[in-house]
Amino acid sequence: MDASTKKTNLGWQSDVIVDLIKRYGFEYITMNPGASFRGLHDSLINYGGNEPPMLLCQHEEIAVQIAHGYAKASGKPMAVILHNLVGLLHATMAIYYAYIDRVPIFIMGATGPMDEGKRRPHIDWTHSALVQGNAIRDYVKWDYQPTSIHGVPESFARAYSIMTTEPRGPIYMCYDAMLQEERLTDEVAMPRIDAAATPSPMMPDPKALAAIADRLCKAEHPMLLAEYAGRRPGGFESIVELAELTGAAVWDINNALNFPNKHPLCLSMDKASLKATDLVVGLDVKDWEKQFADLDNANRIVTDLLPPSCDRVEIGFGELGISKWSMDYCRMQACSVRALGDTVLGIPELTRLCRQRIGADPALRRKIADRKTAVGKRHNEVWAKWQEEAQQNWNASPITFARLALEVWEVIKDQDWVLTANELKHQVRKLWDFDKPYRHPGVELGTATQIGISIGVALAHKKHKRLVVDIQPDGDLMFDAGALWVAAKYEIPMLIVMHNNRAYYNDWAHQIRMAKLRGTDESKAHIGMDLFGPEPDFAGLARSMGCWGEGPIDNPNDVGPALKRAIAEVKKGRVALVDTIIQHR
């Protein structure tokens, strides 16, 4: 703490929290109002001048999701304020998803007063808990509740450091209501201006990197498997450089945009190419299994598609940050080399080591050149197949996934565009050109995550004036429809294209599988899954929230003109929604 930087007799203890928010450079605060942080709220407005600005959200889950999307798209953490125990409990699902997605969010809560003599009857008792952070302790990186104003600056600094250290994740700071509301009467030491906010990245073991380089140069059919590496500065470009140097194919898991999908070495989603793979190099991977396996969903049978002799090596964070509670770490894979450390340092060093080996071996250079030609040929074959498949049932109504993907692509391809999350069951990855690292921050994380995360992504790109596109599932928007008002109120422009099959079809498909397995009536599978009778009017909903809305549209020939009208509204700074009715699968 910096003894020369004090807060004393300047107002209220909550002013100290405002000074810290400003000192650490938070650009926005999302919140739903609550009396437990009324002291901080007043300080933010009347002492801090509403800088950073507060964004009012209709639900705490939306507040956390906007921060989630903003951090994924910008790399910068956002602050969130949650009201007491009840606000925290509202937000739990969104906090869990931020944790498993390795997203930094600075969550501030409130409780109490913990002094029983200061509690209001009933409400301050029912809305408070003993050690409130215990509710989310299993899926935040750290939580703390300072007992006096003197504990606030140090814990704030520590929380920021923990949050932004890889693997990143949300933290929770809980501030007693009376702590916020009392006058500042004595000196409070603040963090030094020149103190490092985040430790430097961790370099993987040089011997482990050398061993990976040896295996990569020796392999006949290597594949780079990337999950989170593309989120880090320069990660996208460093993976391209490593792939082009070694002639390795690349599979992008798509929790970040790690590699350009039209690059000749991209074989993402081509499971047929796996049968000859003899080495997989994991680049900050958590889930090794899903993309390299076939799943018999109804019988829960998983078949590994990689040859039994295929070797696995990795650079990443391995067992760092694994929860003792949630099982988001997925199935462990046997790796012959595990280089614990940050890919932001590990990939460039691996590239340097491989360049040394390749430069000294003419035969290796010839092998790599031949491999690049072969992988490029396979990429072109797969890409051509996807384009051909996209034309099937072209004029069908309801609209096919591929037709909708191509209609959207046709109107955005000449714009500086960003896709928020949903990718139409992989159709956009097969049909669009993801040529820049900011085009897509990664896929959504399940129902009731899409609209909030998308608004956060749009907020991150607002200053760049990019066209942000949200392909929005209907069931997801039904959870958090009030989020549309947030985007309209704070003029966060985005194009929302409804992926509207009038159902929670993912679960409908599960019931069809069960019916087939058990020989029961498939025609009843929709019960408890459908969103018709009545059908939600999403365009009307959008207009009621201050957005532009058009639809529903089930004729594919009408989609393009409607999208053009919507984009014209987005360029005026508005949220525009086009409701398109698509097939179930």
- Look at residue 342 and tell me if it is in a domain: yes
Say what the pLDDT of residue 3 is.
Answer: 47
- Look at residue 116 and tell me if it is in a domain: yes
Handedness of CA 296, 297, 303, 304 (dihedral sign): positive
Q: Are 149 and 188 in contact (CB under 8 A)?
A: yes
Q: Are residues 494 and 560 in the same domain?
A: yes
Domains held by the chain: number: 3
Q: Are residues 160 and 217 in the same domain?
A: no
Q: Are residues 223 and 315 in the same domain?
A: yes
- Look at residue 197 and tell me if it is in a domain: no
Q: Are residues 254 and 311 in the same domain?
A: yes
Q: Are 560 and 501 in contact (CB under 8 A)?
A: no
- Look at residue 201 and tell me if it is in a domain: no
Final residue belonging to a domain, choices 371, 387, 403: 387
Question: What's the pTM?
Answer: 0.95
CB burial class (10 A; 0-12, 13-18, 19+) of residue 223?
buried
Q: Are residues 102 and 182 in the same domain?
A: yes
- For residues 112 and 175, give the distance between their C-alpha atoms in angstroms, rounded to a whole number: 9
Q: Which H or E element spans position 474?
A: helix 474-479
pLDDT along the chain (585 residues), means of 10: 57 96 97 94 97 97 98 97 95 96 96 86 86 94 96 97 97 95 92 91 97 98 97 96 98 96 97 95 93 86 92 93 84 92 98 98 98 98 97 96 97 98 90 97 89 97 98 94 97 97 85 90 89 94 98 97 98 98 87
Q: Are 212 and 359 in contact (CB under 8 A)?
A: no
Using alpha carbons, select from 264, 289, 535, 250 the residue that is nearest to residue 374.
264
Q: Are residues 210 and 359 in the same domain?
A: yes
Say what the pLDDT of residue 2 is.
Answer: 58
Q: Are 311 and 173 in contact (CB under 8 A)?
A: no
Q: Phi and psi (nearest 5°) for 303?
A: -115, 120
Containing structural domain, residue 548: 391-581
Q: What CATH number has the domain bearing residue 463? A: 3.40.50.970
Q: Phi and psi (nearest 5°) for 447?
A: -60, 140
Q: Are residues 211 and 340 in the same domain?
A: yes
Q: Are 159 and 21 in contact (CB under 8 A)?
A: no
Q: Are residues 416 and 345 in the same domain?
A: no
Q: Are residues 219 and 142 in the same domain?
A: no
CA dihedral 438, 441, 443, 448 (to 10 degrees): -130
Q: What CATH number has the domain bearing residue 321? A: 3.40.50.1220
- Look at residue 129 and tell me if it is in a domain: yes
